[in-house]
């Protein structure tokens, strides 16, 4: 499979092989990032992925990076020292707003005691 990704500000294009008659298809993606300060990034990623996994396709790899997939977007949760980096992408602005809302709202609810705040850029 041939994949190329070109990023311009908050938009990217992905070329994917989709079949013999039309070898490449172009999808435009909108993207957003949030950095959430917490001394326990792995704990919150695991909790969020586990909770959302009841309704969505989710995974956590060996490095502790989580992935939540939606019908029209996804969010990658990357643990860093005292921070979770949330990388959301979707097919359009409305779908991106949905990904941001679901991930942000749940993470803030789980981190109420610590006062976690998600601010997307």
Q: How many CB atoms lie within 10 A of CB 20?
A: 6
In this prediction, the residues of the chain whose per-residue pLDDT falls under 50 are 1-26
- To 5 degrees, how large is the angle CA 114–CA 77–CA 45? 50
pTM equals 0.77
pLDDT at 28: 59
**Percent composition of the chain: helix, strand, coil (DSSP 3-state, to 5):** 25, 40, 35
Domain-wise residue ranges, the chain: 31-110
pLDDT tens-digit map of 67-102: 999 999 999 999 999 999 999 999 999 999 999 999
**CA–CA distance, 65 with 69 (Å, rounded to integer):** 13
pLDDT at 18: 39
pLDDT at 10: 43
Does the domain spanning 31-110 belong to CATH 3.20.20.70? no
**CA–CA distance, 33 with 50 (Å, rounded to integer):** 21
pLDDT at 17: 38
């Amino acid at each position: 499979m041939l994949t190329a990704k070109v990023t311009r500000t908050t938009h990217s294009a992905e070329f994917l092989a989709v079949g013999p008659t039309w070898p490449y298809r172009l999808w435009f993606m909108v993207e957003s990032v949030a950095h959430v300060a917490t001394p326990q990034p792995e704990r919150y990623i695991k909790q969020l992925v586990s909770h959302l996994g009841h309704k969505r396709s989710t995974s956590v790899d060996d490095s502790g990076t989580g992935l939540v997939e939606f019908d029209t977007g996804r969010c990658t949760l990357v643990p860093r020292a005292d921070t979770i980096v949330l990388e959301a992408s979707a097919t359009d602005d409305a779908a991106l707003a949905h990904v941001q809302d679901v991930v942000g709202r749940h993470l803030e609810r789980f981190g109420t005691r610590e006062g976690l705040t998600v601010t997307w850029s």
